[in-house]
């Protein structure tokens, strides 16, 4: 099926394609067409490529402000900042972007690649940009100094599963110098090869010594290391088709290798799977640190270590909720804050930035990743609006 950009903008078509990510080819096509119809019938007039985004709809705590850093990053997904201050962003539509920044503004935009296979994940190590592309991890060497003429990528590995369902990957380097690479379940719920799917793995920067770090992870699209303990924390998306309110997405903690987080036997920490759960009680798996809510699609997460925000935000977790796709009433479409409990107190979750979901369930944006910056501001990528926002704080 060939689609042209006449009745709506090309940016709108990219936003629509982003809405369909995570499904099989047939489901992707169905949702893509459905989203085009929504755009055409005026559920929300996203406007042309240069239309102003309605960021005045975003509600933040007192003292916080949000601005559009860039509105020309279609399908923007994971973000990483190089030591030289270049912001890289992956996407679902084949592109990898580089934004040169100065004083909180974009001074130049570059396209590092335009024909990769859903290069959602980006990571930076020793001057090189690492990019995930379904079954492959690629490396662009000395990239900061070659933005106008990017080098041909080096293949770090091409031995990852090629399944497209939950095939796009968030990647990051851990404190141990290893590259952490997840592979989601190739299904809504199934019982796949535990050495290949529903896991988080790690490898050396050159692709050698691949090993499974955690099992029972249905689909993580965001993780970070606690700045105090150096332990891995990650989001995990719950399964679908058990109703509006179960199971929860999860925020998990993995202080060591070899832990099992329950998929496909147990979901949300306490929901036994009706097909695969018999004989596998939830008590046998690692429970979540925080239950995040059903169908909110918790993606990118980061610990906040900056000094711009108030002191009680230090070491909090920010999570981008991409938003539900099959719930009778939409949920998510926001950024939440997790305040970790001190002295044994239970962590609490509270809204931080919301307003991408308007009254009457009109959607104009879907947060995909969050990234604290050296100046203490917080970036939020939005793969539906093709934008990156910058959140700052000033004493009210």
Say yes or no to pLDDT of 24 above 70: no
Mean pLDDT of 16-44: 35
- Same domain? For 24 and 91 the reply is no
Say yes or no to pLDDT of 166 above 50: yes
Residue 213's contacts (CB-CB under 8 Å, 6 or more residues apart) are 180, 199, 200, 201, 202, 232, 254, 257, 258
The DSSP-derived string for 16-68 is HHHHTTTS-HHHHHHHHHHHHHHHHHTSS----TTPPP-GGG-B--TTEEEEE
Mean pLDDT of the chain: 89
- Same domain? For 244 and 163 the reply is yes
Q: Mind listing the pLDDT tens digit for each residue in 343-392?
A: 778 999 999 999 999 999 999 999 999 999 999 999 999 999 999 999 99
- Same domain? For 31 and 70 the reply is no
- Same domain? For 323 and 256 the reply is yes
Say yes or no to pLDDT of 21 above 60: no
pLDDT of residue 343: 75
Q: Mind listing the pLDDT tens digit for each residue in 225-277?
A: 999 999 999 999 999 999 999 999 999 999 999 999 999 999 999 999 999 99
Report the C-alpha dihedral over residues 273, 278, 284, 289, rounded to 10 degrees: 10
pLDDT of residue 28: 37
pLDDT of residue 334: 98
What range defines the domain where residue 35 resides? Answer: 1-51
25-41 and 10-19 are packed helices; what angle lies between their axes, rounded to 10 degrees?
130
Mean pLDDT of 151-175: 97
Say yes or no to pLDDT of 48 above 80: no
d(CA 252, CA 263): 13
Say yes or no to pLDDT of 40 above 60: no
pLDDT of residue 51: 57
pLDDT band at 341 (very low <50, low <70, confident <90, very high): confident
More reliable by pLDDT, 260 or 8: 260
- Same domain? For 63 and 195 the reply is yes
Q: What's the structural domain count of the chain?
A: 2
- Same domain? For 7 and 114 the reply is no
Mean pLDDT of 162-179: 97
Cα–Cα distances in angstroms (integers) from residue 201 to residues 43, 188, 204, 322, in the given order: 41, 20, 11, 24
- Give the residue from 37, 21, 199, 7 showing the smallest Cα distance to 94: 21
pLDDT band at 25 (very low <50, low <70, confident <90, very high): very low
- Same domain? For 67 and 113 the reply is yes
- Same domain? For 249 and 379 the reply is yes
- Same domain? For 66 and 11 the reply is no
Mean pLDDT of 43-49: 33
pLDDT of residue 375: 97
User: What does the radius of gyration of the chain's CA atoms come to, in whole angstroms?
Assistant: 20
CATH assignment at residue 229? 2.120.10.30
pLDDT of residue 34: 35
pLDDT band at 20 (very low <50, low <70, confident <90, very high): very low
Contact 110, 148 (CB under 8 A): yes
- Same domain? For 267 and 285 the reply is yes
Region class of 352: left (phi > 0), else alpha (psi between -120 and 50), else beta = alpha
- Same domain? For 387 and 352 the reply is yes
Say yes or no to pLDDT of 338 above 70: yes
- Same domain? For 9 and 115 the reply is no
More reliable by pLDDT, 136 or 16: 136
Cβ atoms within 10 Å of 161's Cβ, excluding its own: 17
Of the residues 20, 36, 51, the one at which a domain ends: 51
Say yes or no to pLDDT of 1 above 70: no
For the chain, give the longest Cα–Cα distance: 59
């Amino acid at each position: 099926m060939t689609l042209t950009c006449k009745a709506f903008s090309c940016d709108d078509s990219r936003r629509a394609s982003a809405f369909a990510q995570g499904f099989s080819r047939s489901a992707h096509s169905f949702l893509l067409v459905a989203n085009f119809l929504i755009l055409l019938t005026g559920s929300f007039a996203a406007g042309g490529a240069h239309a102003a985004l309605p960021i005045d709809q975003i509600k933040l705590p007192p003292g916080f402000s949000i601005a559009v850093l860039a509105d020309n990053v279609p399908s923007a997904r994971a973000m990483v900042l190089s030591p030289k201050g270049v912001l890289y962003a992956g996407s679902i539509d084949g592109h990898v972007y580089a934004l040169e920044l100065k004083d909180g503004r974009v001074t130049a935009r570059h396209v590092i690649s335009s024909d990769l296979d859903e290069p959602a994940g980006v990571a930076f190590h020793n001057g090189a940009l690492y990019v995930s592309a379904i079954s492959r991890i690629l490396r662009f060497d000395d990239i900061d100094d070659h933005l106008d003429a990017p080098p041909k990528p080096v293949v770090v590995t091409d031995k990852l599963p090629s399944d497209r369902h939950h095939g796009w990957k968030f990647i990051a380097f851990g404190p141990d110098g290893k590259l952490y690479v997840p592979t989601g379940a190739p299904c809504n719920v199934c019982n796949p090869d535990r050495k290949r799917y529903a896991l988080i793995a790690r490898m050396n920067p050159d692709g050698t010594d691949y090993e499974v770090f955690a099992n029972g992870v249905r689909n993580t699209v965001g993780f970070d290391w606690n700045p105090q303990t150096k332990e891995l924390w990650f989001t995990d998306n719950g399964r679908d088709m058990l109703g509006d309110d179960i199971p929860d997405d999860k925020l998990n903690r993995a202080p060591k290798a070899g832990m099992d987080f329950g998929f496909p036997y147990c979901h949300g920490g306490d929901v036994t799977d009706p097909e695969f759960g018999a004989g596998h009680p939830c008590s046998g798996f690692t429970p979540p640190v925080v239950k995040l809510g059903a169908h909110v699609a918790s993606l990118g997460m980061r610990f906040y270590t900056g000094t711009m925000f108030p002191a009680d935000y230090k070491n909090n977790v920010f999570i981008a909720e991409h938003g539900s796709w099959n719930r009778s009433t939409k949920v998510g479409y926001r950024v939440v804050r997790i305040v970790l409990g001190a002295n044994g107190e239970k962590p609490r979750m509270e809204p931080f930035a919301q307003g991408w979901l308007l009254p009457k369930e009109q959607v104009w944006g879907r947060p995909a990743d969050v990234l604290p910056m050296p100046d203490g501001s917080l970036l939020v990528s939005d793969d539906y609006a093709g934008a990156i926002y910058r959140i700052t704080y000033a004493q009210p």
